[in-house]
Chain A
Amino acid sequence: SAVISQKPSRDICQRGTSLTIQCQVDSQVTMMFWYRQQPGQSLTLIATANQGSEATYESGFVIDKFPISRPNLTFSTLTVSNMSPEDSSIYLCSAERGAQETQYFGPGTRLLVL
C-alpha cells in the first residue's frame, strides 16, 4: 500500500481567502485524485491529477475554483480559491499505483470557512 500524508490537517479560514492543501505519497504513483466529503456524506471526486498533464475536473468543479498542481510522481496540491462557507468540508487526496488500481487515501484536511 501507499502511505499518504496531507497538510494541513485542518484549518479555519476567512471567506474570500484561498487555501492550498498538500498531498505527499511515499512512493511514485501514476494517478492522484482529490475528493470532497461533506459531513455525513459520501466522497465526491473533484479532479484527477496526472503528472505532466492538466488535471481533469468532474462536473460541477472548475479549475478557477480548485486549481491543482502535480509537479512530480509523489506530490500534488489542491487550492480552494475565494472561499465561502459552502466550501467547508473535508478534502481528501488519494493515489494509486496503476498496476493494482487500488486507491489509498490521505488522512484528509478539515476546512472551516467563516
Chain B
Amino acid sequence: GENVEQHPSTLSVQEGDSAVIKCTYSDSASNYFPWYKQELGKRPQLIIDIRSNVGEKKDQRIAVTLNKTAKHFSLHITETQPEDSAVYFCAAMQTGSNYKLTFGKGTLLTVNP
C-alpha cells in the first residue's frame, strides 16, 4: 500500500518568513495530493491540492509543487502570519481506485510574531 513520509515534524518560523513542508510517497500510481490544515481542536481543512498532471499550483500565499519522477511534493507558505500556526498534513490518493487518502504524520508549524 501507499506510504507517505512528511518532514519536518515541527517547524518554527518568524512572521513574514517562508515555510516549506515536504512529503514523499511510495506508490507511483498515486495521482492526487491534498494538503490539510488542522488548528487545535478543529477539523482538518483542505487548503490546496494538486493532481499529477500539474507541476505547481498557487493560491495566494500558498503553493504546492509536485515532482512525479522523484515522488515528492511540497507545500510552500510565503509571508507567514501567526494565524498560519497549525498542524499541516499531506496526503496521497490514487483516484479512480479505492479513493483512500494516506496521510503523512503531520507538521506542527509555529509562526512567531
Chain A interface (Cβ within 8 Å of chain B)? 1, 31, 33, 41-43, 45, 48, 56, 92, 96, 98, 101-108
Chain B interface (Cβ within 8 Å of chain A)? 32, 34, 36, 42-46, 49, 89, 93, 95, 98-101, 103-106
> Considering the chains assembled together, what is the distance between the CA atoms of A48 and B99 in angstroms?
9
Which residues of chain B have C-beta atoms less than 8 A from A33's C-beta? 100-101
Task: Choose among B44, B45, B49 the residue with the greatest number of A CB atoms under 10 Å from its CB.
Answer: B44
- Whether A42 contacts B104 by the Cβ 8 Å rule is yes
- Whether A43 contacts B100 by the Cβ 8 Å rule is no
* 18 chain-A/chain-B pairs, Cβ below 8 angstroms: A41-B106, A42-B105, A42-B106, A43-B89, A45-B100, A48-B99, A48-B100, A56-B98, A92-B43, A98-B99, A101-B32, A101-B93, A101-B99, A102-B46, A103-B101, A105-B44, A105-B45, A106-B43
Shortest Cβ distance from A1 into B: residue: B46
